[in-house]
Chain A
Amino acid sequence: MPNVMSKPDILWRSMTDTLAMLGWSGSLSFLIGLILGVALIVTKKGGVMENGVLYQTLDKVINFFRSIPFIILLAGLIPLTRIMMGTAIGVRGAVVPLVFGATPFFARQIESALSELDGGVIEAAQSMGSSPLEIILRVYLKECIASIARATSIMTVTLIELTAMAGAVGAGGLGDFAIRYGHQRNQIDVTYVTVIILTLLVSVIQMTGTVIARKNTH
């Protein structure tokens, strides 16, 4: 692996960039997506905080962002990214489009995860005097930990794909590393090593999700 061995610092930098992008955009997407997903579920018809206008709005906005191809989102969001982060390149510049790309997808995943919960359980909680907020925190989120964990690992793996694409517009990271050296300079070992690292990363994420899900299934 002569080509990889000759630039361990670049490889290391690419890895930390990928992890940084993943960490930031992953946590933000998780948080915002979770809130939006819960909002979708509770404002839906028959939900504990039924609100037709809010539901319809969220539903349309999420559909809108989900339908934009990520590569267009990357470019289109440049002005917004500049305002928010002060730059549109590097890890900082990538976080904004990554969050926009992953959040709507994750919100839908959360919506479908929470909708698996039997309505009777919600009804029981209501009959015991639980408030809507209490139902969200103590019933929806608590009862659905397993499916939320599975949704999160899917979302994180999807984010890895997106970071590779973001790499193409100057965000750095492993995807960028593989394209620049492995593909463009035909250093085939770079591609292999990158693929192996990404495979390990995906496996770890998937395994973590599965373990959390299993621990919370009784």
Chain B
Amino acid sequence: MVALENLSKTFNSKTSVVEAVKNVSLRVEQGEIHGIIGLSGAGKSTLVRCINLLERPTSGKVFLDGEEITAMSNRELRLTRRKIGMIFQQFNLFASRAVWRNIAYPLWRGGLTKKQMADRARELLALVDLSDKENVYPSQLSGGQKQRVAIARALANNPRLLLCDEATSALDPQTTSSILELLKKLNKRLGLTTIVITHEMHVVKEICDRASVMENGEIVESGEVFSLFANPQRRVTQDFIETASNFSKINSMIDENHVITRLRPGERILKFRYMEKSEAEALVSAVSRRFNIDVNVIFANLEWVGDAPLGGIISVVSGDSRNIDEALLYLRDKHVGVEVILDNTRVSETNYA
């Protein structure tokens, strides 16, 4: 569907040369929601602008359905852009046009009468659940409503591809969820291939099928969302996962000698993580029953990616030392990663993961 080949974008200014995107190759399949996650300045916005050539790449090629966009004339490019919808962090609606006229903007010169354009706008407003706002001006809308109008406008010409540049970053968490839900619905209902740029981990978790992690202009890791987040290979990916969980708190609790981290002899603090897609089993009660140990949960962070649980728990485990060791072997067979955070049974720390 979308293929980027060795894409680079360099910005030259008098004082410096910035390589915003470095030799990126990426394929996004038809009907996929692909997330591109990275810290600000990682080059993700530049990368997405290279797809519809709002930024012309310094080198490399962009293909949409086999057609090379980077080789098109200006006129062909403009026609192709009508088939690529784009939404933005700041919505970018036309303030002087009522909602329906915003949506009708890209329909101009499409051979429709004014009435047909109004009808199409109404149809799109219904699709984004904003039917009562057609004659309102953007300034009277909330952020979430503005983004819905922007989505409707981006869909006016039945695009094959939707580019979302930090589309939820200016919205509160609740509105973010509703916009993400809408994007997912559109993806399902229209088969709309979607590329989502974000710096928020939960956006990727919530709607993406596959994701790429960007750092310093490069895609450092890419893959199916579950495996990407279950087994992050790169530091930056791990950091993103940390931001979405409360696990890092355990370290400061140990430093502060929090009451729960003052272990009695034989106790350990362990972190369990799902490493592979698995059926959700009652693992905690299973190991405590089978091996006669106590599992006291301190932190739990479980998310559902598709139908598989992602995340894990941190808990204080106590009981007979040999029983605990056996329990850990049992969990490893179930593809649960175990990491020892604090151990009051032996001198050296062991990593079972």
Contact status A120-B88, CB under 8 Å: yes
Against A, the Cβ 8 Å flags (1 = close, 0 = not) of B78-109 are: 11111011101010111111100000011010
With A and B bound together, what is the CA distance between A123 and B157 in angstroms? 17
A218 to B141, CA, bound (A): 11
- Asked if B105 and A128 sit within 8 Å, CB to CB, the answer is yes
In the assembled complex, B291 has its CB within 8 A of some CB on chain A: no
Cβ-defined contact, B96 with A216, below 8 A: yes
In contact, B78 and A127 (Cβ under 8 angstroms): no
Q: Is the interface of A mostly helix, strand, loop or mixed?
A: helix
Report whether A124 and B137 are in contact in the complex, using a CB–CB cutoff of 8 Å.
Answer: no
9-residue interface stretch from A83-91, A137-145, A176-184:
A137-145
Interface flag for B193 (CB, 8 Å): no
Q: Is the C-beta of B147 less than 8 angstroms from some C-beta in chain A?
A: no
In chain A, positions 196-217 with a C-beta closer than 8 Å to chain B are: 216
- How many Å lie between the Cα of A120 and that of B106 in the bound state? 16
Q: Give the distance in Å from the alpha carbon of A206 to the alpha carbon of B116 in the complex.
A: 40
The B338-353 residues at the A interface (CB cut-off 8 A) are none
Residues on B with beta carbons closer than 8 Å to the beta carbon of A216: 96
- A218 touching B96, Cβ below 8 Å: yes
Q: Which B residues are CB-close (under 8 A) to A125?
A: 105
Give the CA-CA distance A134 to B98 in the complex, in Å.
Answer: 19
Among B78, B90, B95, B163, the residue within 8 A (CB) of A129 is B78
Is the C-beta of B139 less than 8 angstroms from some C-beta in chain A? yes
CA distance A140 to B172 in the complex (A): 31
Given that A120-B88, A138-B105 are contacting pairs, would A127 and B52 also be in contact in the complex, using a CB cutoff of 8 Å? yes
Give the most central of B54, B137, B153: most A CB within 10 Å. B54
Given A128-B81, A129-B82: A120 and B92 interface contact (C-beta under 8 Å): yes
- In angstroms, Cα B79 to Cα A148, docked, is 31
Would you call B52 and A143 a contact (CB within 8 A)?
Answer: no
Interface size class of B (residues with CB under 8 A): 20 to 34
CA distance A157 to B137 in the complex (A): 32
Q: Is the CB of A126 within 8 A of B92?
A: no
Q: Please tell me if the beta carbons of A124 and B82 are within 8 angstroms of each other in the complex.
A: no
State which of A126, A134, A142 has its C-beta within 8 Å of the C-beta of B54. Answer: A126
B162 to chain A, nearest CB (A): 11
Q: Judge whether A131 and B78 touch: CB under 8 Å.
A: yes
> A130 vs B78: C-alpha distance in the bound complex, in angstroms?
7
Chain B positions within 8 Å of A9 at CB level: none
- Residues of chain A within 8 A (CB-CB) of B96 are 142-143, 145-146, 216, 218
B139, A218: Cβ atoms closer than 8 Å: yes
Closest CB of chain B to A126's CB: distance in Å? 6
Give B308-347 as 1s and 0s: 1 = Cβ < 8 Å from A's Cβ atoms. Answer: 0000000000000000000000000000000000000000
- How does the 8 Å CB contact mask read for B129-173 relative to A, with 1 for contact and 0 for none? 000000001110000000000100110010000010000000000
Q: Is A121 interfacial (CB-CB < 8 Å)?
A: yes
Q: Are A123's CB and B94's CB within 8 A?
A: no
| Residues on the A chain within 8 Å of B153, using CB | 128
Partner of A123, one of B92, B95, B154: B92
Q: Provide the residues of chain A in CB contact with B85, threshold 8 Å.
A: 127
Q: Do the beta carbons of B81 and A129 come within 8 Å of each other?
A: yes
Cα A124 to Cα B54 in complex, Å, equals: 9
Residues from chain A with Cβ under 8 Å of B90 in the complex: 118, 120
**Cα separation A173 to B242 with both chains bound (whole Å):** 77
Query: Are B92 and A124 in touch, CB under 8 angstroms?
Result: yes
Closest chain B residue, CB of each to CB of A146: B96
Asked if B54 contacts A123 (CB within 8 A), the reply is yes
Distance to closest chain B CB from A129 (angstroms): 4
CA gap between A139 and B92 in the complex, in Å? 12
Query: Is there an interface contact between B79 and A118, defined as CB atoms closer than 8 Å?
Result: no
Q: How many Å lie between the Cα of A15 and that of B278 in the bound state?
A: 89
Are B88 and A139 touching (Cβ within 8 A)?
no
Are the CB atoms of B88 and A128 closer together than 8 Å? no
- Chain A, range 164-179, C-beta contacts under 8 Å to B: none
Best-surrounded residue of A123, A134, A138 (most CB of chain B within 10 A): A123
Q: How far is the CA of A127 from the CA of B138 in the complex (A)?
A: 19
A118 contact from B54, B80, B92, Cβ within 8 A: B92
Q: How far is the CA of A130 from the CA of B80 in the complex (A)?
A: 11
Q: List 29 A-B contacts (CB under 8 A).
A: A120-B90, A121-B92, A121-B93, A121-B95, A123-B92, A124-B92, A127-B52, A127-B81, A127-B85, A127-B86, A128-B81, A128-B105, A128-B153, A128-B157, A129-B81, A129-B157, A131-B74, A131-B78, A134-B108, A138-B105, A142-B94, A143-B94, A143-B95, A143-B96, A146-B96, A216-B96, A218-B98, A218-B137, A218-B138
8 closest A-B pairs by beta carbon, nearest first, are: A218-B137, A124-B92, A129-B81, A128-B106, A127-B86, A129-B82, A120-B92, A129-B78
**A residues at B contact (CB < 8 Å):** 118, 120-121, 123-131, 134, 138-139, 142-143, 145-146, 216, 218
